[in-house]
Copies of this chain bind each other. A is one copy, B any other.
Amino acid sequence: MAEEDVPHRPGRWRSGAESKQRILRTARELFGRHGYRGTTVRAIATAAEVDPAMVFYFFGTKQGLFAAAIEMSGAVPPAIESIFTGGLDGMGDRIVRTLLENLDKSDRTPLVMLTRSAPTDEQSEALLREFIDREITGRLAAMLDAPDAALRAGMVNVQILGLAVARYIVRIEPIASASVDELAGSFGPLVQRCLTGRTALPG
């Protein structure tokens, strides 16, 4: 699994695989742009230049296609790794940069697809929650090893979600048009503060 770009090997493949990949690629794009409910199977089929029936032939159901689409085919995980290797020093900056660079590159990343779909689709909501718990909260909390580790990780999650929504979904200025460097400059220290700065533990 996870062959990005299988470019029409001349010796001729069993030829169906190419269609399947085109469908997947298109699905990721449209789910990323309009979310699960805002995307129809027909729209995907049309954009991928195949018959709608073919989509069901390959993926069974719309949910099946969505599941296949978010199966992060190399998109995020390696990038996420690089965040955690290197310790807490400068991690705020790395988190912001990695997030933005990957999301800028393509709006078909699992995080965007899930963030777009979660608000109107309960399945996606659960998937996104699990995704964040597993990929971010879990690792962060383990790494921080402090009594308020969970809260700190939660604060980082708020930054990530807020940044993703403001820049890619609602497109609020100047967040939407700022360069990665600019945002790293302003949000890097902010995230770092969530990780290692002072925290008010009231009471």
| Interface: A181 (CB within 8 A) | yes
A113-130, CB under 8 A of B: which get 1 and which 0? 001111111000100110
9 A-B pairs closest in CB distance: A162-B162, A38-B120, A158-B162, A35-B120, A185-B200, A116-B119, A185-B202, A37-B37, A154-B175
Min CB distance, A73 to chain B, in Å? 22
Given A157-B162, A185-B202, A188-B200, 7 other A-B residues pairs in contact with their CB atoms under 8 A: A155-B175, A155-B190, A157-B166, A158-B175, A160-B162, A161-B162, A193-B193
Which of the four size classes fits the interface of chain A? 35 or more
A interface residues with partner B (beta carbon < 8 Å): 34-38, 115-121, 125, 128-129, 132-133, 137, 150-151, 154-155, 157-163, 165-166, 169-175, 178, 181-182, 185-190, 193-194, 199-203
Within 8 Å CB of A34, what residues of B?
120
For A198, give the chain B residue with the smallest CB separation: B189
CA distance A128 to B159 in the complex (A): 19
Within 8 Å CB of A161, what residues of B?
161-162, 165-166, 170, 172
